[in-house]
Amino acid sequence: MSDINLSPLWLSFQTAGVATIIVFLTGVFLARIIARNQFFGKGVLEAVFMLPLVLPPTVVGFGLLYLFGKNGILGRLLLDMFDFQVVFTWHAVIIAAVVVSFPLMYQSASAAFQHDDPNLEHAAYTMGASKWKVFWTVSFPLAWPGLLAGLVLSFARALGEFGATLMLAGFIPGVTDTVPLAIYFAVESGNMEMATFWVIIIVALGFTAIYWLNWWSKRNMMRYSQKQHHQ
């Protein structure tokens, strides 16, 4: 184990980090717009957003391969316009991680914004605050506990993504070999010691993320209860 290559760990962190930033920005933006508005097809749109959460990873990977493959709609467009191929690149790892982790961020953000007190926002509007200012000074702080939960869960999900990544990005050492893929191919090659090492790492990271989130949530609830009691 002295010659172990830690590149899968760094690649997993980089992938999960970039994917989490993307899903946080898009999830918060879409949840903010959709949660407060009613329109035809809203239920269908939200079902589409949540679909990767219930589909087998191989189905998600097949769909992404269908879109971004050389003969896919987006894949052909990128190849013709920019001479850029997504499949079997680090960008494919990012795309897979974004797609499978987005539902967790969107769900958390949507629930957080729906539970915001609209009276506080209306009060800020009557005082002359712009929509942008109301969002950053009222809506966002009120929703932050739920947004943070979505952030942590999305990061953990992106960190553990396997099926869609394997189908879209493949296993290329130093390029697409994330920890979940390293575990699978270590087992395939009979290197159980290496597989056990990576399993311990990924379990420890996932456990730490969930444990910290639970601890922070309980701590936040205790502070809120104490504040309400003093009032």
Exposure of 80 in the CB half-sphere (CA atoms within 13 A): 8
Enumerate residues 6+ apart whose C-beta is below 8 A from 101: 19, 20, 23, 153, 154, 155, 157, 158, 161
Enumerate residues 6+ apart whose C-beta is below 8 A from 39: none
Query: Residue ranges per domain, the chain?
Result: 7-178
Residue 227 has pLDDT above 80, yes or no: no
Confidence of residue 1 (pLDDT cuts 50, 70, 90): low
Closest CA to 111 of 144, 146, 135: 146
Residue 26 has pLDDT above 70, yes or no: yes
Alpha carbon distance 47, 68 (integer Å): 22
Enumerate residues 6+ apart whose C-beta is below 8 A from 118: none
Section 83-108 average pLDDT: 95
Tell me the three state secondary structure of residue 6.
coil
CATH code for the structural domain at 7-178: 1.10.3720.10
Can you point out the beta strands (E) in the chain?
Answer: none
Model confidence pLDDT, tens digit, residues 137-175: 888 988 998 999 999 999 999 999 999 999 999 999 989
pTM: 0.90
Model confidence pLDDT, tens digit, residues 110-143: 999 988 777 788 888 888 888 888 888 888 988 9
Residue 231 has pLDDT above 70, yes or no: no
CA 18 to chain CA mean position, Å: 9
DSSP state of 55: S
Query: Left if phi > 0, otherwise alpha if psi is -120 to 50, otherwise beta: which for 188?
Result: alpha
Closest CA to 107 of 40, 24, 44: 24
7 contacts 194 by C-beta, under 8 angstroms: no
Query: In the chain, what is the greatest distance between 2 CA atoms, to the nearest angstrom?
Result: 67
Phi, psi at 142, each rounded to 5°:
-65, -35
